[in-house]
Chains A and B, each alone.
Chain A
Amino acid sequence: MQPEGGKPRRLTRFDHREVRAALLLCAPTAVLMLALLVLPTLAVLGLSFTDAELGVPGFQFLGLGAYADLFTDRAFLRAFRNTAIYVALVAPASVVIGLVLALLIEAEVKGRAFFRSVYFLPVVSLTVAMASVWQYLMHPSFGPMNLVLQRFGLPSINWLGSSDNVLTSLALIGIWQALGFNLVLFLAGLTAINRDLYAAAEMDGVRSAWSRFWTVTWPMLGPTTLFVVTITMINAVKVFETVATLTQGGPSKASEVLLYTIYKEGFVYLHIGVASAMAVVFVAVLLVLLLVQTKVLEKQVHYA
């Protein structure tokens, strides 16, 4: 709203003092943000156009050529593809299973807190510690998972040791990790749905649990689902600990993923320039995911 007869107001001396005070109060945060966030980001961006290596004096400016090299680099492309597959396995499964479990738990009044804690355990436990448990579970000869398979007369599976299976096995662990968080978010979303809507649906002749879900639950869970999907995808893109502890990208690079490749380029081979370019691509992927959420899908799930 514009004040009527609006002549732009001049700043009085008092206003100037206020402005100065405001700037002073913002300064510490602004300086910290600059030093810890903006400058390093700019440095990475700058380095990404070079072939800098740690310990090697001098470097060459490659410009966009650095990125062109990246997209012809087989190792990077494989990491990119593996990450995409991992995300494509983990995100849908952990979202759908999380939602189904949340619906089941919500429908059963008793034992709600118990199931919630059980499924939330992976979220609060240390991934690295849990990885060694998974290593045991998935051990080819004495791992319980294979023992169970054998009990039922099924062939053993080389979970982590075969390049055909390793990504799926890692995805299994990833689903287990993401499930609890998604479940708790969905439970919160379900609790927030106005009970009157279910009563209204019943009065309107919505009879089956199936149509009740599509008439009320699913539309009302829209914002929750969008958030869960985004968070799960971002977390899956960032997969690192399980790869670093269980497979180190192997066997024969079948489980190389983006973050692990960046880590190796930067901290093992000390190729700062390449690692920076990869990091920029990595951040760009995350930003695109976020952008899709906030700009495109947000409009479709918020009705008010």
Chain B
Amino acid sequence: MAPALVLKHVSKAFGTQSVLRDVSIEADAGEFIALVGPSGCGKSTLLRIAAGLERADAGEVSLAGVNVTDTRAADRDMAMVFQSYALYPHLTVRQNIALPLAMRRLSGFERLPMIGRITPSARAKHASIMADVERTAEALRITELLNRKPGEMSGGQRQRVALGRAIVRRPKAFLMDEPLSNLDAALRVHMRAEIVSLHRAAGVVTLYVTHDQEEALGMADRVAVMIGGRILQIASPEVIYTDPEHIDVASFIGSPKINLLPGKIVHGGRLFQAGRYLFSGFSGPERDVTIGIRPEHLFLSTEAHEDSIPLFLQRLEFLGSEVIAHLKNQNDGRALIARLEPDHASDVAGLKQLFASATDHELMVFETDGSRVRAAASVADGAASYAA
């Protein structure tokens, strides 16, 4: 089966500022892809190009196997949900949701107020539109809002109406640009689940832009991490988090942020961190690298041993189910962060000096250009058996 939504080698510049550089995404039918990245990285621009609201300088967009690069947005049969909701303020909820149907199913004359319904066929069309609107409103539980205007509703209600306007005509793709970022935290979490279940029910490919990594990881089948106009990695949430391909992906995803330590690969492919040998299996010349350790993989103990890093404990941050320890490396003064179980935190609380260690296979090594480098075989798993 052809992928449902394909963006191929899309590039875009505004004046001299290059915003998208050779971006490609292939979304399968019914897939939910979250596009996540820092502010200004070009997410909205990419989404608008997918929608047809903006023209790419180069590249191709295809929908359900059809090249729509030169098709205007109104004819692409996609629906978009905007951060600002973009509801028509002078129309009631019912009219807002009905508008995309009216535009597609009725002729210009049939859309006229009053006299548009003069023929029986027009009346039948109007009735079917109203039935579809009612059904959508029920699915979104906004039936009692149908006669209100957008100005008379809360942000969450408006967002529901905006979703309704998008799903009512069963488009070939949903495009959502930070639809939840104007809502308060509790409502946001609630709406996440709701959007996911709406997506499941509709089974329509969805491109969902957000700068909130929790949203991206929690909602999507696959996450595309976009930084500086490039997609650095596109993979399942688990892979994005546990096995990032690029140092920027590793540091953008994950809160608190991943710890980064300077390291060195020396002759024989052996990895050293501040003079301590960690493991081997690397190829290539002698060079500097960066070692990443997720805060939950930093193991703190009160006693020093061979590979451990001596640390000062600066502050403990109690977050309920976990405790964040803010630490300082005694050797180079760099800040480190560890995530602890509350039980473990009470063991170290009050101590000044601690020692951190990590399991080899939980370390990630990055080249200076940011790309991931892997050891041929993890020493922790026994290099000897591979060599044999």
**Chain A residues proximal to chain B, CB less than 8 Å:** 194, 196-197, 199-200, 202-207, 211, 215-216, 219-220, 222, 303-304
Contacts and interface: CB of A to CB of B under 8 A. Distances in A.
Interface stretch (B18-26, B76-84, B283-291, B306-314): B76-84
Contacts of A202: 52-53, 72-74
B100 interface: yes
B80 A219 contact: no
B84 A203 contact: no
10 contacts: A196-B83, A196-B86, A197-B86, A197-B88, A199-B86, A200-B87, A202-B73, A203-B73, A204-B103, A219-B89
Contact of B89 (A203, A205, A304): A304
A299 to B, nearest CB: 12
A203 B78 contact: yes
For A200, A207, A211, the residue with the greatest tally of chain B CB atoms inside 10 Å of its CB is A200
Given A194-B84, A196-B84, A199-B82, A204 B165 contact: yes
A215 B88 contact: yes
Contacts of B108: 211
Nearest to B100: A204
B135 interface: no
For A194, A199, A215, A222, the residue with the greatest tally of chain B CB atoms inside 10 Å of its CB is A199
A210 to B, nearest CB: 9
Contact of A303 (B78, B82, B150): B150
Contacts of B72: 202, 207
A194 B53 CA distance: 15
Q: Which secondary structure characterizes the binding site on chain A?
A: helix
Contacts of B104: 205
Nearest to A197: B86
Given A197-B88, A202-B53, A207 B82 contact: no
A205 B77 CA distance: 8
B151 interface: yes
Contact of B86 (A200, A211, A219, A222): A200
Contact of B74 (A196, A197, A203, A220): A203
Interface string B96-113: 000110011000100000
Given A196-B82, A196-B86, 17 more contacts: A194-B86, A199-B51, A202-B53, A203-B51, A203-B73, A203-B100, A204-B100, A204-B103, A205-B103, A207-B72, A211-B103, A215-B88, A216-B88, A219-B89, A222-B90, A303-B149, A303-B150
A303 B79 CA distance: 25
A196 to B, nearest CB: 4
Contact of A200 (B52, B80, B90, B151): B80
Nearest to A301: B90
B48 interface: yes
B74 A206 contact: yes
A304 B149 CA distance: 8
Nearest to B151: A304
For B48, B51, B82, B86, the residue with the greatest tally of chain A CB atoms inside 10 Å of its CB is B86
For A197, A205, A303, the residue with the greatest tally of chain B CB atoms inside 10 Å of its CB is A205
A222 B108 CA distance: 23
Given A196-B82, A211-B108, A205 B90 contact: no
B89 A303 contact: yes
